[in-house]
A = this chain, B = another copy of it.
């Protein structure tokens, strides 16, 4: 391993230069106009995989954005097989004016690299390619069989990979899934994430009159779609911050005492948390700490709302319609299908007959949890400790990586979430960044992990 680690140390500048090339491609998957860039990123990735010595690479066309799949199976039948997952698409960049530097022109300041996708997920994905490259360069082979699957729709629904996984279980068969798309609990504190939340994401549209009306002439005579939408949404929580959808909590696995005790030992400072977000106080479901609510409790949040006049000054209209983007974060063992159905039933039950209420299911993903006793988890724990020099902690993450829930069902292999991000990396926000120390120690941890897996 030492030679491999030395190779990594000697090639930092090369690795970084290649990453910057990758980051410059504006692969925003949710916006139609970037479709060619998403394709470009997929092709770039496929070519890069070939260049590091894996020739069996294919860019699979899908109904949406392509899936890059590659494999190197020369370790033989007796060696374990690791499936590495990542995504090469990125979030939109608006509000653009809040970025200190252009999102697709990466800039390095101190130990950080700034740009869209640096942390989520191009930088993290790339760490594994560099780990594989290091093994291949030094030994001409890998200690385990490797399958790589990189998708381009993680930020916009991930329907293509869902279909791909469901229809290709043999191709993807493996013993361990390795994913870096989460974060450390804190700077300098490496972490293994053992749970993720799922998601059900909707768009609701309330339509009243067939055109905008003069609010003087008509105000008071009919239900205003914007008021009605606000009322509908306000009905989704009770005064204790609980979601009111009937049956919403039925399948939720309660937090264990071990988990609650463990979370209390983590360095969490409520005051610092508020200050960092610019809020006066946290708030949410009654009876749970902030960390518990973020990691292990389901939620319902509006992600956007729009309707009527939104320009400067005043326009006196009753808008014809209004829409909201609304998503629920789910925890084990809720499923997104179950929750989506309950949500739709509830909305239709609440919807007044005076307006038209359309509910559109944009996407969903299941929550995930892995047993802490798994051998893959132990190997990851040791690899991270050796690479970073600090004993990792166990944590969950409030975010969703829907495909991880599906891997669990289809592939029946433990998933190791060896995230490399930091909590203040501004993913999905302006000035997204990635700590290069985590990038380089992540490459090493990945390389050590593959080695350890081969020896289990």
Contact = CB atoms under 8 A, between A and B. Distances in A.
Contacts of A322: 302, 305
Contacts of A324: 226, 230
A157 B314 CA distance: 8
A315 B327 CA distance: 10
Contact of A216 (B91, B230, B355, B398): B398
A231 to B, nearest CB: 5
A189 interface: no
A222 B156 CA distance: 24
This chain's copy number in the assembly: 2
A308 interface: yes
B227 A229 contact: no
Of the listed residues A216, A231, A306, A329, the one surrounded by the most CB atoms of chain B closer than 10 A to its CB is A216
A247 interface: no
B211 A299 contact: no
Contacts of A95: 212
A363 to B, nearest CB: 6
A333 to B, nearest CB: 18
Interface string A307-335: 11111111111110011110101000000
Contacts of A319: 302-304
Given A30-B313, A210-B277, A302-B226, A329 B429 contact: no
Contacts of A318: 301, 303
A279 interface: yes
A222 to B, nearest CB: 5
Interface stretch (A6-14, A104-112, A289-297): A289-297
A199 interface: yes
Nearest to A285: B220
Contact of A277 (B156, B222, B283, B314): B222
A317 B316 CA distance: 30
A246 interface: no
A50 interface: no
A31 B224 contact: no
Given A217-B294, A305-B307, A308-B325, A279 B234 contact: no
B301 A227 contact: yes
Contact of A283 (B237, B280, B294, B354): B354
A170 interface: no
Contacts of A236: 227
Interface string A16-48: 000000000000001110000000000000000
A211 B301 contact: no
Interface of A: 30-32, 91-92, 94-95, 98, 156-157, 197, 199, 201, 203, 208-224, 226-227, 229-231, 233-237, 273, 277-285, 290, 293-294, 297-299, 301-319, 322-325, 327, 329, 352-356, 362-363, 397-400, 423, 426-430
Given A214-B428, A223-B284, A303-B319, 5 more contacts: A230-B233, A304-B310, A305-B322, A306-B306, A317-B429
Shortest Cβ-Cβ A-B pairs, 7 listed: A216-B399, A210-B278, A304-B308, A234-B234, A304-B309, A220-B299, A226-B302
